[in-house]
Chains A and B, each alone.
Chain A
């Protein structure tokens, strides 16, 4: 197996930094911008292993569409910056950090050795950095989607339809007179 390249290390560092800023940034706009950067860099990571089509989809849909939607909504609602830490709630954040760390360490410890040489997940199939010819091409993925995953693919169409209708209904102005105090 091949070691990660320098470029990949660089990407990893950047992804770590931007995702950290997404989580910790006090301004929602900044969070959204960093989210966009994280998604974009993940797309580049796909390119670096040769999954070009997937990378393109990632950048177009995730980084392009979804992040922009976030930024748009944040700006629309004009959210004020909130401090990450509120006095008196410190233990909560430490606890949250602890749990997340446990998550991280637990997953790393349980998954990575299994993926290494002679690990239970090392099937010995492909041990090269190079893309197995044709495995990540648009053609191969489309064939999968339209044959083996036909039913889930069709169901996503229904899901999207439902989402469109839901968004339209939610976005409509409420014609009824405002009740006092709102719904909450």
Chain B
């Protein structure tokens, strides 16, 4: 089990984190420029430099490679208490490399887009500083070689998410959304905390490499129950960060932030960190199949619920937000059926097409003078041709149009689900079909038909700053799927190699999992069924909404339910928030006012009275003090001579 790896040391990794961090400090603390071009340039440069460092890393250490040792950056020891030793070491694995390229690459494009998008801002330096800080925190999360460092990044990205959702803090709704995101994430982070404490108490190491190689499987020196609890807690944390039932409610509200933020943080990178951590720890998960079942059904429920809500939303960003939640559900289903490669593959492709869709939506919103209601749009395809083309590519990718990125990843997930069982496959296929429906609805309502409002009639194409990242992302959404293709088409397995090489020699086979290997014929049938179902529903949706001229009205119980997001927020309000505020108010009155304040008052009064009493001794007369002194010496003399 403990294989000896060739460990290579490098100090290059820390610079990937340091450059965005320096960018954040330069923008936020030193320059504080009101010039959006300058702030954007600094932030983009920091991000781009990090991207090029990642490229050179990938170039020198390889990414789609089978034999891989360990590349470590032993930076410094964070803390060492008793037997708990936490170094702040960074680690490069092929899996990390893919994630690094996604984060810094898409991050750089989004920085460029934001420079155009935020052109009317009063304090852009704040925005770009937060954005860079987010990148730094995300890179800590990805690069750290131990779970405490991962937790540092985990909290850091949560903080930046909060700051950026509430970026337009003058608006009450935005700050409320920010706080909702923060608090909901905190509930999830508690799970991570518990996991760390469990590790500290029972396992004694936080190193991912040690956890994966020593504690996975039957030869694990600690009981399986502990590992199971740790994994359950990490999954609990993931439901917060990666927006799964029951903690997904913050993500749709997080769309209150600027659109580039939605694209970068709430679609491409941060929300996938739960899946990323799970894939890094996969051999552990594989050794505890019980937790996989929970992951499967939570993910499935989320994929369905979010898709159903997305069917009837009017806000273009809300549709994309719920589709993100739904796609994250797909990824968890993939984890749950024991296919980490498929899950992570979908993370990568989703990062591209969802960032593209969000930026496209941002471009539309920019052109529509910040009107986000799709029912007010319509007919934008002629006025915004570049945005239209790229948005179309994104839409096709997400619904799984053949040979786009989403096609490969979604097909892989469905194939794996079919291996697991027909029920999971059937449900997931229906969720995918729903995706096709609501995405085409959003696309058609926005770009086809007649312009339904004045804003829509006078919409304008965005500047090149915003269009260029769209085109690059569109290229990515078309091409990135070819890194991992099914055996029947091209048979490329780059990502699978990369991920398997990142498990320190562990196989990652799920214990007791006897997956049937699909025959080529079955694979072809699945592929065709999936594509046919998605595309026909997509076409149906297109024809249904193409000629929408006037304002739409919806009625019926199901539509109401969907439009009101199944009243989940209201239910949480009643079930959790109201009792909590009731208890909090009582606690405040009883504990704070009576006990804590009361104790403090007693102490204060005691001090004051004691001081008043003692101040009588303080006469101000020199001789009085001499008296005290002499009396004390006399008492000491008496004590020495006659008492002792």
Contact = CB atoms under 8 A, between A and B. Distances in A.
Interface string A19-52: 0000000000000000000000000000000000
Contacts of B634: 99, 102-103, 106
A6 interface: no
Contacts, number: 23
Interface string B628-644: 00110110011011000
Interface string A93-105: 0001001101100
A107 B633 CA distance: 11
A110 B631 contact: no
A103 B637 contact: yes
A101 to B, nearest CB: 9
Interface in B594-644: 627, 630-631, 633-634, 637-638, 640-641
A86 to B, nearest CB: 13
Chain A interface secondary structure, helix, strand, loop or mixed?
helix
A54 B638 CA distance: 34
B638 A102 contact: yes
A96 B633 CA distance: 13
A109 interface: yes
B638 A106 contact: yes
A166 B334 CA distance: 88
Nearest to B640: A110
Contacts of B637: 102-103, 106-107, 110
Nearest to B639: A106
Interface in B488-530: none
Contacts of A96: 627
Nearest to A106: B637
Chain B interface secondary structure, helix, strand, loop or mixed?
helix
B633 A110 contact: no
A156 to B, nearest CB: 26
A107 B630 CA distance: 13
A111 B151 CA distance: 70
A148 B427 CA distance: 97
Contacts of B633: 103
Interface in B361-401: none
A107 B640 CA distance: 10
Contacts of B630: 99-100, 103
A106 B634 CA distance: 8
A127 to B, nearest CB: 27
A14 B522 CA distance: 128
Contacts of A107: 637
A107 B637 CA distance: 7
A109 B641 contact: yes
B626 to A, nearest CB: 10
Contacts of B640: 106, 110
B617 to A, nearest CB: 16
A110 to B, nearest CB: 5
A18 B638 CA distance: 28
Contacts of A99: 627, 630-631, 634
A106 B641 contact: yes
B633 to A, nearest CB: 7
A101 B589 CA distance: 62
A113 to B, nearest CB: 10
Contacts of B641: 106, 109-110
Interface string B82-111: 000000000000000000000000000000
Contacts of B627: 96, 99
B381 to A, nearest CB: 89
Interface centre among A100, A102, A107 (most CB of B within 10 A): A102
A106 B632 CA distance: 13
Interface string A144-176: 000000000000000000000000000000000
Nearest to B636: A106
Contacts of B631: 99
A179 to B, nearest CB: 21
The 7 A-B pairs of least Cβ separation, nearest first, read A106-B637, A102-B634, A99-B634, A109-B641, A99-B630, A110-B641, A106-B641
21 contacts: A96-B627, A99-B627, A99-B630, A99-B631, A100-B630, A102-B634, A102-B637, A102-B638, A103-B630, A103-B634, A103-B637, A106-B634, A106-B637, A106-B638, A106-B640, A106-B641, A107-B637, A109-B641, A110-B637, A110-B640, A110-B641
Interface of A: 96, 99-100, 102-103, 106-107, 109-110
Given A106-B634, A106-B638, A110-B637, 8 more contacts: A99-B631, A102-B637, A103-B630, A103-B633, A103-B637, A106-B640, A107-B637, A110-B640
